[in-house]
Amino acid sequence: MIIYPAFLVGYHFSGDAKDHTETWKSGQMHTLELAYAKVFKYGGPHGGSKVYYAGSDFSLSNKYDFFVAPKIGINVGAGFMFGTELQLQTNFEQFVPRIMPYFGIGGWGGKFYIGYNFRLAKAESLPVNTGHIGITWPIKGRVKKSND
């Protein structure tokens, strides 16, 4: 097993957002992801990995308001991967906790994936997209080998 820290940099795109009544659309959203991760790489060149991470998403184009989404997450896989993250999306006036399961391809911190944001509470005017597609790339830190 090899363990190393990584900074994750990602871009996410979402289509039409809906509020809890699903009566209006906020349009397309572009989001930047910045996170710190701990990567656990197992096996040889075709082995698997698990990644724990904490960071935030930053809205780049929401026509109603700027928002950030501090988050924690985990993903596992070996080529095909799946994961989930818990986000606390906020515009600094209200916040919406969400959980987003996702799946895609990738490993060792990098991923190309699709996911769906499930709202855990209501916010009257915080439009956050539900469907989600993204790509994340790891910037590796110093590698530490383990005998476990």
Tell me the CA distances in angstroms from 129 to 20, 86, 117, one per residue in order.
Answer: 11, 15, 7
Question: DSSP letters along 6-63, please?
Answer: EEEEEEEEE--BB-TT---B---EEEEEEEEEEEEE-SSTT--EEEEEEEEEEES--S
- The arithmetic mean of pLDDT across residues 17-29, rounded, is 53
Predicted confidence at residue 63, as pLDDT, reads: 55
* Residue 48 in this model has a pLDDT that exceeds 70: yes
pLDDT tens per residue, range 127-140: 666 778 899 999 98
Q: Which of 5, 34, 52 is nearest to 136 (CA)?
A: 34
Predicted confidence at residue 147, as pLDDT, reads: 61
* Residue 114 in this model has a pLDDT that exceeds 90: yes
Q: Which of 77, 69, 75 is nearest to 98 (CA)?
A: 69
Token readout for 106 is 């990738």
- The arithmetic mean of pLDDT across residues 24-30, rounded, is 61
Where do the structural domains in the chain lie, given as residue ranges? 2-145
What global pTM score does this model have? 0.83
pLDDT tens per residue, range 53-110: 999 999 866 555 678 889 999 999 988 999 999 998 887 877 888 899 999 998 888 8
Predicted confidence at residue 129, as pLDDT, reads: 63
Instruction: Considering only residues 4 and 22, tell me which one the structure prediction assigns the higher pLDDT.
Output: 4
* Average pLDDT of every residue of the chain: 81
Q: How many CB atoms lie within 10 A of CB 50?
A: 17
Instruction: Considering only residues 28 and 148, tell me which one the structure prediction assigns the higher pLDDT.
Output: 28
